[in-house]
Structure 1
Amino acid sequence: MVTINVSRVADEGALHLLLKQELGFPDFYGMNWDAFRDAITGLVEVPDRLRFVGWDQLSERVPRGAIMLRQALHDYQAPYRPQLVVEYT
């Protein structure tokens, strides 16, 4: 399981930087939601379990980013990794 603390993220740029660091995205990661989808579907191996700690704080501070992240992971899960478990705490 990979646990990512998103409680202190203040904007989408910081969220993308954190995701890049924690999930091992390459240096050329584009820091946007299209690049995020590209990274999880072909550039890195996503662990079977992800836990996002501080989700309520992220949703308050960066509502669009929280929605986009959750949607991207949901869209990835069905066709690519049905066994993926994502926790938002």
Structure 2
Amino acid sequence: MVTIDVSSVSTEEELHGLLKQEFDFPYFYGRNWDAFWDAVTGLVRIPDHIRFAGWAELLEHVPDGGRMLQLLLDRYRAEYRPGLLVEYT
């Protein structure tokens, strides 16, 4: 399991930077949701169990980014990795 603390993220750019770092996305990661989808479906394998700590704070500061991240991870689980466990705490 990997725990990613998103409580101090205040912009979508910061969120993408943190995701790039934590998931070891390549240097050319585009820092947008299309690039995120491309990365998780073809460039890297994300962990089987992910916990996002500070989720309420993220949704307070970056609501659209938080919702998009959750939507894409739900889609990824449905299409590619039914065993993926994602927690939002």
> Smaller-chain TM-score range?
over 0.9
Matched, 1:55 2:36: no
Give the Cα separation in 2 of the matches to 1:16 and 1:88: 17
Gapped runs of 5+ residues in structure 1?
none
What TM-score comes out, normalization by structure 1 length? 0.99
- Counterpart of 1:12 in structure 2 is 12
Give the Cα separation in 1 of the matches to 2:64 and 2:43: 24
How far does residue 46 in structure 1 lie from its aligned partner after superposition?
1.1
Runs of 4+ in 1 over 4 A off after TM superposition: none
Give the Cα separation in 2 of the matches to 1:50 and 1:72: 14
Give the Cα separation in 1 of the matches to 2:79 and 2:55: 25
Q: What's the RMSD between the two structures over aligned residues?
A: 0.4
Alignment of 1:1-89 (within 5 A): 1-89=1-89
The count of corresponding residues between Structure 1 and Structure 2 is: 89
What TM-score comes out, normalization by structure 2 length? 0.99
Q: Which amino acid aligns with 1:60?
A: E
> Sequence identity, in percent?
62
- Partner secondary structure for residue 41 of structure 1: helix
